[in-house]
Amino acid sequence: MNIPVASIFTEIPEAIIVFFHDTVGLGWGPSIVALVFTVRLAILPISLKQIKSMRAMSELAPHIKAIQEKYKNDKQRQQQEMMRFYQENEINPLASCLPLLLQLPVFISLYYMLKGESFQQDVENAPPEGWLFINSLIEPPDPTWVTVTLIVLFIVTQLAAGLAMTVRGQGIEGPQRFIVFGLPFLFAPFVASFEAGLSVYWISTNIWTFMQQQLVYSMMGPMKKPTEEELAETTKAPPPPPRRKKKKSGRRR
């Protein structure tokens, strides 16, 4: 079934891939990698802002841990103090999700493009062209050893990228633990059933994420460690709001 909306969304990534293949002269595999570079460069300002936010959270991780420890028996108060701390330091804990969300439309577009009849005809009409150990980018990986290799590469790079995106100095707990350690294995079976070109795209994205994170963090230098006085100030309860003066009631005699 043809989906007109999906065909519209595939135009931009398909145009980029075809440009690198037909004009620059790259193969289909390197053209998909070039699409990754193009997308990541386009969202680089947002990614750098996200990395700075994560760096701030890494430096403030001891403060956050102190709050969690102080109110470990009162989860509601713990959440209140955490939100107050985030607001005072202008931190958005969800900022790390934005670059990923911006890439999802491109990934979905690539999925429809690789399954589209026009693109498959272009690839099939051209001379046989694999890439590295992959025979075809528009079909699921085959034989078995190629599938296993792509699954291993996907899991390893996804784990590395996920760990690179976590806040340093703060434990990985709750939903974040599942996202970092669970999702790579949850999505691994799709590597075997989806077109190999999608695996090339996502593995390349993971490698970019890991390298970008390491490079920017190294350029920022060592993190600042808080003093004991600063940690004590963090866990200090906020002053109570000023009391309102009661208006005197009654009539004058």
Going from N- to C-terminal start, the domains of the chain cover: 4-234
Structure confidence at residue 176 (pLDDT): 60
143 preceded by a cis bond (ω within 30 of 0): yes
Partners of 131 in the beta sheet? 134
CA 167 to chain centre: 13
Residue 8 pLDDT > 70: no
For residues 45 and 56, give the distance between their C-alpha atoms in angstroms, rounded to a whole number. Answer: 17
Q: Which residues contact 223 (CB under 8 A, 6 or more apart)?
A: 55, 58, 59, 168, 169
Structure confidence at residue 64 (pLDDT): 76
Partners of 217 in the beta sheet? none
Structure confidence at residue 129 (pLDDT): 58
Residue 222 pLDDT > 70: no
Q: What is the pTM of this model?
A: 0.69
For range 40-63, the mean pLDDT: 79
| Tens of pLDDT, residues 146-167 | 788 888 888 888 888 877 766 5
* One-letter amino acid for residue 160 of the chain: A
Looking from the CA of 7 toward its CB, the CA atoms found within 13 Å total: 8
